[in-house]
Chains A and B, each alone.
Chain A
Amino acid sequence: MPTTDPITRPGRRALLAGLGSAALLGLLPRPAAADAASQAQGLVMAISADLTKLVNSGRSEAQLYRDFEGLLARYADMPAVAAATLGPAWRGASAGQRQAYVAAFQSYLARKYGRQFGEYRNASISVAGARDAGRAGVLVQTVVVRPGQENIAVDWQISDRSGRARAVNLIIEGVSLLANERAEIGAMLDAQGGSVDRLTAELRARS
């Protein structure tokens, strides 16, 4: 009786079947990757819900910045983001300097981006998909829809390398927050003669 079982009848067909399944395994997302992607999407939905609530809360500016800073601390890996924007100077900084810098950077960021919140009243955020970015994490693509204005493409880079899924970058219409802040922090650090302490003081003054 003819059989197609590749184990009992090794041959050309078995080889093809083997190659086929190998290709399939390579093409299909591994369970872990698929899991990371759905986890990342879930995180972005949670962030979006909290942001939408905050933007439309009608709170005072001071409260808005404080609450936004709370969201940053909760959902983003701020020490990792702060370190990435500081670059080589991070390695030379003491534990105390790092801690002070991360705190000042977080407040500065909350204020800088919180200032734009007025533009997003009545906006809605919808998740459009997620793409695996290997070691860089997962890119969750969203569209911010504002009534009467153009849509904005906002991509969220999510990584679980800290132990849990957290945001590590935001890419608005192709513009990476991390790349922009690295240039900005670099310019500030130069202006402060390369001193991390004076940079931290400058960030506090801006927030």
Chain B
Amino acid sequence: MRIACILLGALVPAWLAGCTAAPDPGSLDFDPLEESNRVAHANNKQIDKAIFQPVARTYGKIPAPMRKGVTNLRYNWKLPGQAIQSVLQMRGPQTAETVTRFMINTSLGLGGLLDPAAEMGLPYRETNFDETFEVWGVPEGGYLELPIGGPGTQRDWTGWALDILLDPVYLVAPATATNALFGIGTLDIVNDRYEIDPVLDELLYNSADSYTAQRISYLQNMRARLQGGTDVGQLEDVYADY
């Protein structure tokens, strides 16, 4: 084992080769990229305070139904790519639901501005490469906070890039349509920031260690989202040491 570690150590970081007593990759403390992440985190907080937070709060003054329309449009045009993800995840019924939802909202929903499909029992359910990777058993990799981008893992950010590069709508639609979609997408990201403002504000600006607070919140939330809820086996016995 030791010789293998020395050999491997020349090729890959020690934590990858499993040679150090580093925390288990599935744990909340696994953080091989912490040093560079903390630099990005400090910068991201300043950018958020100066730009994203005030812009989001201003955008939040727009009436909710109008913001909802923007969200509906963005969600609708993500559906073709998500139908492909459902296929890659080998989830037949979900693929059919996604295609049906797209057809209903693109026609009856005026190109996706409205969301009649949700009332017919076909609510939006986001799925991207991050979930496909989870289904395929690709490891998460390290937690990775990107400058401007914010929290993620190596796997999630890889998925994010592939989602953009391989989005069928962007490959097929004319430039005027994709430019409009890009604008809508940007507005809706601002809306996402607005929707989580109270929680994010507490996390980023009231925590004793906002980097760790954001990392463990992100990792737990991502795992529950991709694995379909809280894992009962992960619950801790509060009375174990009490």
Contacts and interface: CB of A to CB of B under 8 A. Distances in A.
A80 interface: yes
B170 to A, nearest CB: 26
The 6 nearest A-B residue pairs measured at CB: A174-B224, A187-B209, A136-B235, A187-B208, A168-B238, A188-B208
A104 to B, nearest CB: 14
Nearest to B222: A174
B213 A139 contact: no
Contacts of B28: 179, 183
12 contacts: A77-B238, A115-B202, A137-B235, A149-B195, A155-B230, A173-B221, A174-B225, A175-B217, A180-B213, A180-B216, A183-B28, A184-B209
A83 B237 CA distance: 12
B198 A174 contact: no
B136 interface: no
Contacts of A115: 198, 202
Given A139-B235, A161-B238, A174-B230, 16 more contacts: A80-B238, A91-B241, A116-B202, A136-B236, A137-B238, A139-B230, A141-B230, A148-B68, A150-B195, A168-B238, A174-B224, A175-B220, A184-B209, A184-B213, A187-B209, A187-B212
Nearest to A84: B238
Contacts of A141: 229-230
Instruction: Identify whether the interface residues of A are mostly helix, strand, loop, or mixed.
Output: mixed
B202 A83 contact: no
Contacts of A184: 207-209, 213
B229 A81 contact: no
Nearest to B233: A133
B229 A153 contact: yes
A139 B217 CA distance: 19
Interface in A82-138: 83-84, 90-91, 112, 115-116, 118-119, 131-133, 135-137
A41 interface: no
Contacts, number: 103
B235 A169 contact: yes
A79 B238 CA distance: 10
A51 to B, nearest CB: 17
Interface of A: 77, 79-81, 83-84, 90-91, 112, 115-116, 118-119, 131-133, 135-137, 139, 141, 148-150, 153, 155, 157, 159, 161-162, 168-169, 171, 173-176, 178-180, 183-184, 187-188, 191
Contacts of B222: 174
A176 B233 CA distance: 13
A61 to B, nearest CB: 14
B199 interface: yes
A178 B217 CA distance: 11
B232 A118 contact: no
